[in-house]
Structure 1
Amino acid sequence: MISWTPLAVSGLALAAALAVAPAAPAHASPLHPVGTWGASADKVSGDAGAAGLADRSVRNLVHTSLGGSGVRITLSNAFGDRPVTFTSAHVGVAGEGAAILPGTNRPVTFAGSPEVTLAPGTEVLSDPVATSVPADTTLAVSLHVVGESGAITGHNLAMQTSYLSGTPGTDVAADESGAAFTTQISSWYWVESVVVEKPRRVKTAVLFGDSITDGNGSTVGANRRWPDALADRVASSRFAGRYAVMNEGISANRVLADSSGGQRGLDRFRRDVLDQPGVSTVVLLAGINDIRWDHADEASDLIVAYRDLIAQAHAEDVCIVGATLTPYEGGSRYSPEREQVRAAVNEWFRTSGEFDGVVDFDAATRDPARPTRFLPAYDSGDHLHPGDAGYAAMAEAFDLGLLGCDR
């Protein structure tokens, strides 16, 4: 578990690139960490996956929601089968392909050292880098791993192309050219979050769920998941600059049972939500996979779990917004019996009053002529996941006032 403490460095916002930041003046507002980007840790199955890497550099491309200073990253070996050693880490503003904008790639240290070893089941928080990063910007987090890494902890469904170096043994994490990164990958490796300093009035909103929060069906590399669209809405609203957004969805994840999509929601809620820096609000969109795979034969099976998550959030003074489950007739494992469970769960969401707020994604995405299906314009084509337009409609349906509550 990461212990989030106030960062030691502050600075000026950038327009387009990283820059050395001066110390904050004495009269500046107190600062604290918020999560500008996140991805829930699971065991990578694609690309290198369980085979691991040896003496290679990886360049993870990630997208910020909010700008800030005192940049930190977290690395995770939560699901590794052996210690993993990184001899260098860098963060810079991504350019074309695997390249980094000149002059922006900065070294990252851990307790003052450029090298860090993570035991299996552990994660590490970096020192703050004396830089600022812009909002709504793609960063390159580059790492060099030495020795055999074993099973890789990361995030399977990135919906973003990242890169691996082609020549083992050569550390190219510092290179701003992308020439050495010759292999494209579709997962994020080891990097779990990017954190920045902001005034204490700024908070983190964590969006928690499965593949629909993860963005399955959206355009790769375009940042059109519904959490991205929500961050864009916040930035152009009266709430601009007040909330960072972290996407903690995992494709195939379930609330009640572990799966190929990682630990069940009940077990990862603390790590992926409550332990995030500056968290004030969580949006819960989860349960459709429990229904599809018969872990929830009745609505009450999920309602008991939802009440557990509500209690966990409220015990930490975190607001929790419930999101109704989107339609999926025509999709994998649909049946009228399972549809009855989904409808009953959604009715409880709308009427129970147990959440601090509710967003009705079912109503926002369904076809009025056939409410058990997506509106065709919102369907990615598999009848289970929205496409870009569907994710945009979800974000538009979200009342931004739900990001805060009176807890």
Structure 2
Amino acid sequence: MSGRGRACRAAAVLLLTLAGQGTPALAAIPPAGATVRGSGVVTWAASAQRTGVGADRAYRLIVRVSAGGSDLRVRLSNAYGDRPLTVDSAHAGLQARGAALKQGSNRALTFDGDRAVTIPPGHAVWSDPLPGRVPAGARLAVSLRTPGARGPATGHEMALTTSYLGRGADTAADGASGWAPATCSWWYLDAVSVRPEHPRAGAVVALGDSITDGWGSTPGLDHRWPDDLARRLRAAGTGVANAGISGNRVLTDDDDGGPGATRRLERDVLSQPGVRTVIVYEGVNDLKARDKASAAELLAGYREITHRAHEAGLCVVGTTVAPFKGWLQWSPDTEAARREVNHQVRTGGDFDAVADIDRALRDPRDPERLRPHLDAGDHLHPDDEGMRAIAGATAPASRDCRR
């Protein structure tokens, strides 16, 4: 692992360690209508969180798109800001190496025809379409400048990807000069869309917690399970968006894990353009928390998500909860609840399709535990191979999901 990869891993460890120790109060979800839908199909996303403090600086944010296409647009979010955020320069190009971009690929983004945009607190904005084609699987660099930014910043804490900060750096330049130090978070950018090459292509959103967010996978290699799912669905031109937040629960808001899945569904799933399917892979945090949910309560939360997704015309893939014996908060009671939830997910008929992640990850000799070779070491989070196993379980359900 590179030095920067180790730094991102250390930042992720700190993020998980801080869970439950108390952080600034949870910000409200943006009001209905604050996040305007973009056009095309979402090809990358990262759910908004409160991420440090805003500053007068530039950002060069590196993301890997899933589906390729034309008319690229980016969504900038001030969801957690307490004052207007001004972005006076924004560009998008293709990464060459580090902070350097492929020569001639970096182009200016506009917002309603202007180079600058001011985003009210709690809101998000889409850029205008950028002419030209972005290849599937490309590493995109979105460069922003936020003069005078103050107060709570919006972003995504655990990117597991190296991006770059700059003071006085030129967002329009292709070169790496001025882009230091590195950052292991994404700032203000929370979605990218394209007009897909396949006219009927849509997108899949993975709604989840730290396992979907990528904890346990190798930083810098895009080995989260939604990344592998994107590779498996690439031939069909399907976009894949990662709506995972470490520590997230289905039912309950949390200062670290963010608003519960039922509360963030509109912002992180339904507002994304071109979405046809949502994969619901969370619930373990509800079952193992101090104020743990019962199986019946968690299943009711799943039904609420499914009902609202159906109202929006989406197909819903339900998933079983993987085993986690060996994790500190495991107990026979939580195991019994997990098994009850999994039985209902498999047989209850609430979902349009089911991905049996429990079966893909459990140890046949001890079904309450992860297979040792799929365990990242903490008995809850899968490693890179475990992430591939999750993608293998979800891919057929994603392809076959029909209402």
The question of a shared fold, defined as TM-score above 0.5 by the shorter chain, is answered with yes
Instruction: Give the Cα–Cα distance (whole angstroms) in 2 for the partners of residues 153 and 105 of structure 1.
Output: 24
Q: Equivalent of 1:263, from 254, 259, 273?
A: 259
Q: Which amino acid aligns with 2:271?
A: D
- 1:59 deviation in Å? 0.8
Instruction: Give the Cα–Cα distance (whole angstroms) in 1 for the partners of residues 225 and 395 of structure 2.
Output: 14
- 1:181 deviation in Å? 1.0
Secondary structure of 1:182's counterpart equals strand
Check the 8 A contact 1:206/1:282 in 2, yes or no.
yes
Q: Equivalent of 1:35, from 26, 30, 42?
A: 42
Secondary structure of 1:255's counterpart equals coil
Aligned to 1:2: 35
How many residue pairs match? The answer is 368
Q: Cα gap change, 1:83/1:399 in structure 2, threshold over 3 Å: closer, same or farther?
A: closer
Q: Cα gap change, 1:319/1:295 in structure 2, threshold over 3 Å: closer, same or farther?
A: farther
Q: Structure 2: 5+ residue runs without aligned partners?
A: 1-33
Q: Provide the alpha-carbon RMSD of the alignment.
A: 1.4
Q: Residues 3-402 of structure 1: matches in 2 within 5 Å?
A: 3-4=36-37, 6=39, 33-44=40-51, 49=52, 51-54=53-56, 56-165=57-166, 167=167, 170-198=168-196, 199-235=198-234, 240-259=235-254, 260-400=256-396, 402=398
Check the 8 A contact 1:74/1:191 in 2, yes or no.
yes
Secondary structure of 1:206's counterpart equals strand
Check the 8 A contact 1:93/1:105 in 2, yes or no.
yes
- 1:298 deviation in Å? 1.8
Secondary structure of 1:148's counterpart equals coil
Query: By percentage of residues, which structure has more helix?
Result: 2
Q: Which stretch of the first structure deviates more once superposed, 390-399 or 300-309? A: 390-399
- 1:82 deviation in Å? 1.5
Secondary structure of 2:161's counterpart equals coil
Q: Which amino acid aligns with 1:332?
A: L
Instruction: Give the Cα–Cα distance (whole angstroms) in 2 for the partners of residues 406 and 351 of structure 1.
Output: 17
Aligned to 1:24: none
- 1:373 deviation in Å? 1.0
Q: Which amino acid aligns with 1:208?
A: L
Secondary structure of 2:280's counterpart equals strand
Aligned to 2:8: none
Q: Cα gap change, 1:332/1:136 in structure 2, threshold over 3 Å: closer, same or farther?
A: farther
Secondary structure of 2:97's counterpart equals coil
Secondary structure of 1:346's counterpart equals helix
- 1:295 deviation in Å? 3.9
Q: Which stretch of the first structure deviates more once superposed, 110-119 or 330-339? A: 330-339
Fraction of identical pairs, as percent: 44
Q: Cα gap change, 1:340/1:206 in structure 2, threshold over 3 Å: closer, same or farther?
A: same
Check the 8 A contact 1:319/1:404 in 2, yes or no.
no
Secondary structure of 1:142's counterpart equals strand
Instruction: Give the Cα–Cα distance (whole angstroms) in 2 for the partners of residues 257 and 144 of structure 1.
Output: 35
Secondary structure of 1:174's counterpart equals coil
Instruction: Give the Cα–Cα distance (whole angstroms) in 1 for the partners of residues 215 and 223 of structure 2.
Output: 10
Check the 8 A contact 1:205/1:403 in 2, yes or no.
no
Check the 8 A contact 1:208/1:284 in 2, yes or no.
yes
- 1:402 deviation in Å? 3.4
- 1:316 deviation in Å? 1.4
Check the 8 A contact 2:353/2:400 in 1, yes or no.
no
Runs of 4+ in 1 over 4 A off after TM superposition: none
- 1:3 deviation in Å? 3.3
Q: Which stretch of the first structure deviates more once superposed, 336-345 or 318-327? A: 336-345
- TM-score, length of structure 2 as denominator length: 0.89
Q: Which amino acid aligns with 2:36?
A: S
Secondary structure of 1:232's counterpart equals helix
- TM-score, length of structure 1 as denominator length: 0.88
Q: Cα gap change, 1:161/1:112 in structure 2, threshold over 3 Å: closer, same or farther?
A: same
Instruction: Give the Cα–Cα distance (whole angstroms) in 2 for the partners of residues 120 and 350 of structure 1.
Output: 42
Instruction: Give the Cα–Cα distance (whole angstroms) in 2 for the partners of residues 191 and 278 of structure 1.
Output: 18
- 1:379 deviation in Å? 0.7
- 1:331 deviation in Å? 1.5
- 1:341 deviation in Å? 1.1
Instruction: Give the Cα–Cα distance (whole angstroms) in 2 for the partners of residues 348 and 294 of structure 1.
Output: 23
